[in-house]
Structure 1
Amino acid sequence: MVRLVYSIIIAICIPFVLLHLLLRGIRSPEYRSRRLERLGFFKAPEQAQDFWIHAVSVGELLAAEPIIRELQTRYPAKRITVTTMTPTSSALVSKLFGDSVYHVYAPYDFPLFVGAFLKRIRPKFVIIMETELWPNMLHGAQKAGCSVVLANARLSERSARGYKRFLLLLSWLFDSLQLVLCQFKPDAERFERLGISPDRIRVTGSLKFDMQFDAELAEKGLILREGLDSEQMIWIAASTHEGEDAKVLAVHQELKQRYPDLLLILVPRHPVRFDSAYRLAHEMGFRVGRYSERESLLPDEDVYVLDVMGQLMRFYAASDIVFIGGSLTEVGGHNPIEPGALGKPMLIGPHYFNFEMICREFMASSSLSVVQDDADLKVQLSRLLQDPKMAAELGNAAFDVVEKGKGAIARVVDAIAPELD
């Protein structure tokens, strides 16, 4: 009954979702193509697929990459379909795997669309990344006889409380999961509180620690800095959200009074805000550069707006201090592992609930510090700028945290191997 009501609501929403997709296609041409895939209609692969791996967007796809590669290594004859929801992640699938996997957009969560998708893919095993629990997707996979695993699973205390309120209505949702492979022990405990049997829960660690990075990133960071004075300091505000750019720029304005050569690399999370961030920096009187006009950094710039996707790691490598956005506002923060893997000291706002346990791993080594607001951000940045030796030591500590966290890939594939044999 609950799923029926949910499906009726989805049916009512679908025309509006399709209209949104149409309008978005006007602004972003990449959304115009392959629309029928989202309704479950596409050219089916010639053979049934052994694995269906669902990674909603780029972050989840990057976490899924090592699982996919490990599966391809251990089970080279098995066929893999990867679904995502965005054109950016679709392009990344092609870049990472070429023709070695089959890619299609995930269907909207309506029984007709999910059924059409499953009929074409015919998967035996479903791996869902992190938190994507869609009722009709899970029900359809279970009905089709698929084994369903939630991998790299995380569940915040806030989300657990939300599920708990409706547990009588949602218990069937969790019953469809054969395995829940959690990032950390508190995640496992929260899933257990929701009624999932302990024998279906494992703690495998976070796959994000096992992400593969370009071995030449450090050198690429140095190349970006070639035009700067060797002593010039750079801090990067990465993945900022609405309302954060102004705060970050105001902090930078104050810091420039003491550190006139200080350069800020400003990286809005979403492309729709690239231009507004650039304009705001200009309006505040900064000398501003942007990637779309020039890739290199100049010594006489105050702010550089990274207005392109896919280049963040290079600019992390070029920076001395990292502030992780989405955390001064209640977005929940972003992944600290990427700058940590490059040995950077990190700051984050008080709202880091999306990556709470990972953040706590870094906090335990003092390589990630929490700033309560923009005023505190200025204080903590000043502390690091005044003592480059301490900043470097904290960066080394961050790198050590990443190294110690590795090994989740093998644990995940080992956990699902008995289901495959």
Structure 2
Amino acid sequence: MYIIYNFLVLCVCCLFVLPYFLYRCICEAGFTTRMRQSLGGLRDEEIASVAQKDCIWIHGASVGEIVATSPLVKEIRKAYPDSPILVSAVTVGGYNMAKQIIQEADAIIYFPLDIPFVSESFVKRIQPRIFMPVETELWPNFLRAIRERNIPVMMVNGRISEKSVKTYRYLYGIWDDMLNTVSRFCMQSSIDADYISHLGADPKKIYVTGNTKFDQTYAEVTPEDLENYKKELGIENAYPVIVAGSTHPTEEKVLFDVFNEIIKSYPEARLVIAPRKPGRADEISKLAKQYHWESGFRSKLLEIKGARSKYPVLLIDTIGELGRIYSVGDVVFVGGSLIKHGGHNVLEPAAHAKPILVGPNMQNFKDSYALLSKVGACKMINNSAELTKEVLDIVGNDERRLQMGAASLQVIKENRGAAVRSIEYLQDLLTLTTVDSKVEASYPTNIRNLHDEGGGRLRHGDAVIQYLYQLAHGPNTPFFGWILLGILRMFSYVYEFGVCCKLDFY
């Protein structure tokens, strides 16, 4: 199965990934770093602080996973102040976000493409103490390289979507290998725990720890910060301010239709749009012109030192700011939910005590949505008419707006602690898998995972090699060991004689 998988991976890389990378290198400044690192071109100085130093490696794919990673890294630093921490990301957005909000990391890199020799190179050069994928970042060749070196793996903030449940079945034996490589599954909810168990994970390895996004603090905003944001966006006296975060194509059109209705009743209203991909800002600006709205770009407004123009539509074309930008909103719409994408993180606006509106597709964040909707903090709408009605009702009813905001914040406070619980399981796992690194004073032996119930095991071949090495080079070779070494020495002479004869026949 690995042969088929690797053949397909190489075909996809050659036909699609490499041309795409080259295109982005030409069009996007700084993308060459991602291409170089993803293809295995890590420079020594980029990993000098973590390579071969028993680092704790935590990996999140994109911006959302990096947000979940942030509180985990803070807790790891508290629990293991002397251990180097490596953070990796797949996307440019995730990498830049990590640079902004994870100051505790000793090194931040791009994750390798899942090509056998590339993954092997990364793991061999870094040799982490443990690997911690966030959510469901499992890659076959990478985990295979991890497994061969007996490095423990602990999934944190685990989440399995309904789509993933159907997709992973087609990996057959590869999926089983990946699951067997993971020693701990720390899942966000009981639903995710059931999903991973249904997919074949050992129930003894599964734990429900909660969602670490409840613990994020990078987006905290002081009253002074809030005033600065409003000044920088030119919305000091505007009401209502509607913030739409992580929007996708076609959702902006719905938002402009809604905004047209809102502004009839509230001439000072503002619409702040933060597209999921900041590069779409120009596209959305052109759409705004079709609705006769002038739009301001966050990046350009930051360059102005004096008073800002009062743009009715504001576009957030910067990376890593959405979590804080939510604070300026009077009502928040979270995108990816009016289309069949599965929604986005509703906890960031909830942390700012905001009333939240979403579309009907929230499968990827079903648990967060369930918590917020249960207390009336988050309302689901199905179309532009319903969105218009809810926005008008919320901004026109101070009591409801404040109640929804207070309920949002209460949910956040009640569900914090996932990062701390995850680190407790990390400490337990490292206690089980970290043993004395030497059997004899002069003989280093890697026997991680040997004592981890249900975890990986040292391969028989490796165990034999290590045992023989100990006999040959250890200072205290027993009498039986000398006999065994003598027999092996005789076999070596026979082997040497056979090789010489074969060469003579040539």
> 2:284: which partner in 1?
277
Q: Deviations over 1:12-41 (max 9, x none)?
A: 122231221111011111102353321223
Which stretch of the first structure deviates more once superposed, 169-178 or 117-126?
A: 169-178
1:104 positional shift: 2.2
Instruction: Supply the AA of the counterpart residue of 2:27.
Output: R
> Sequence identity of aligned pairs in percent?
29
2:184 to 179, 183, 208: 179
- 1:120 aligned to 119, 125, 129, which one? 125
Greater shift, 104-113 or 260-269, is seen at 260-269
* Residue 166 of structure 2, aligned match among 139, 150, 161: 161
For the residue of structure 1 that corresponds to 2:376, the secondary structure is: coil
Name the residue aligned to 1:11. 10
Letter matched to residue 108 of structure 1: L
Output the CA distance in 2 between the equivalents of 1:212 and 1:177: 28
**Equivalent residue for 1:137?**
142
Tell me which of 376, 390, 397 is aligned to 1:387.
Answer: 397
Distance, in Å, in 1 between the alignment partners of 2:9 and 2:257 is 43
Larger radius of gyration: 2
Give the superposition deviation at 1:102.
2.1
Q: Give the distance between the partners of 1:358 and 1:314, measured in 2 at CA.
A: 19
- 2:387 paired residue among 377, 381, 384: 377
Q: Give the corresponding residue for 1:245.
A: 252
CA drift of 1:114 comes to 0.6
What are the within-5 Å matches in structure 2 for residues 234-383 of structure 1? 234-295=241-302, 301-383=311-393
Partner SS, residue 292 of structure 1: helix
Offset from partner CA, 1:110-153 (integer Å, 9 cap, x none): 11111011110011211000011211111111111111111100
Name the CA shift for 1:268/1:168 in 2 (closer, same or farther; >3 Å).
same
Deviation string, structure 1 residues 151-184 (Cα, Å, up to 9, x no partner)? 1001123322333465566322212211110001
- Cα offset for 1:92? 3.6
CA distance, structure 1, for counterparts of residue 220 and residue 279 of structure 2: 31
Query: What does residue 409 of structure 1 align with?
Result: 419
User: Is contact 1:347–1:369 with CA below 8 Å preserved after alignment?
Assistant: yes
**142-151 or 74-83, larger mean C-alpha shift:** 74-83
- Mark the CA change 1:169 to 1:81 in structure 2 (over 3 Å): closer, same or farther: closer
Q: 3-state DSSP class of the match of 2:132?
A: strand
How many residues of Structure 1 are paired with residues of Structure 2 in the alignment?
A: 420
Amino acid at match of 1:36: R
Matches within 5 A, 1:67-146: 67-97=72-102, 100-146=105-151
| Deviation string, structure 1 residues 233-274 (Cα, Å, up to 9, x no partner) | 111111111111111101111222222222111222212210
Q: Verify the 8 A CA contact 2:54 2:129 in the aligned structure 1.
A: yes
Contact 1:261 1:299 in 2 (8 A): no
User: Do the aligned partners of residues 154 and 99 (structure 1) sit closer, same or farther apart at CA in structure 2, a change above 3 Å counting?
Assistant: closer
Looking at structure 2, the residues matched to 93 and 306 of structure 1 have their Cα atoms a distance apart, in angstroms, of 19
Moved more, 288-297 or 187-196: 288-297
1:400 matches 2:410:
yes
| Separation of aligned partners in 2, 1:33 and 1:384 | 46
Structure 1 residues 345 and 327: CA distance shift in structure 2, 3 A: same
* 1:31 partnered with 2:36: no
**Hey, what's the Cα distance between the residues in 2 that align with 1:8 and 1:215?**
46
Alpha-carbon distance change, 156 to 88 in structure 1, aligned in 2, over 3 angstroms:
closer
SS of aligned partner of 1:126:
strand
Return closer, same or farther for 1:419/1:292 CA change in 2, 3 Å cut-off: closer
Q: CA deviation at 1:89?
A: 3.0
- AA in 1 matched with 2:9: I
Which residue type is aligned with residue 401 of structure 1?
A: V
Distance (Å, rounded) in 1 between the aligned partners of 2:374 and 2:138: 31
Give the distance between the partners of 2:367 and 2:224, measured in 1 at CA. Answer: 31
Q: What is the alpha-carbon distance in structure 1 between the residues aligned to residue 104 and residue 170 of structure 2?
A: 44
The unaligned stretches of length 5 or more in structure 1 are none
Q: Please report the TM-score for the alignment, with normalisation by the length of structure 1.
A: 0.93
Q: Say whether residues 1:48 and 2:58 are aligned partners.
A: no
Shift of 1:359: 1.0
Secondary structure of 1:52 counterpart: strand
8 Å contact 2:215–2:418 — kept in the other structure? yes
C-alpha offsets along residues 374-402 of structure 1, whole Å, 9 cap, x if unaligned? 22111211221221221111001000000
Q: 1:127 to 1:287 in 2, by over 3 A?
A: same
**TM-score, normalised via structure 2 length:** 0.78
> In the TM superposition, what whole-angstrom CA distance separates every residue of 1:274-331 from its partner, at most 9, and x where no partner exists?
0111121122112433323324996854222222222223321111000001111111
Q: Deviations over 1:205-242 (max 9, x none)?
A: 00000001354344322334456575721111111111
- Cα distance in 2 between the residues matched to 1:36 and 1:266: 33
Structure 2 unmatched ranges of 5 or more:
432-506
**Whole-angstrom distance in 1 between the partners of 2:109 and 2:27:** 22
SS at match of 1:181: strand
Distance 1:229 1:128 in 2: 42
SS at match of 1:32: helix
- Counterpart of 1:56 in 2: which secondary structure? coil
SS in structure 2 at match of 1:66 = helix
1:399 match: secondary structure: helix
Two-structure CA RMSD over aligned residues (Å): 2.2
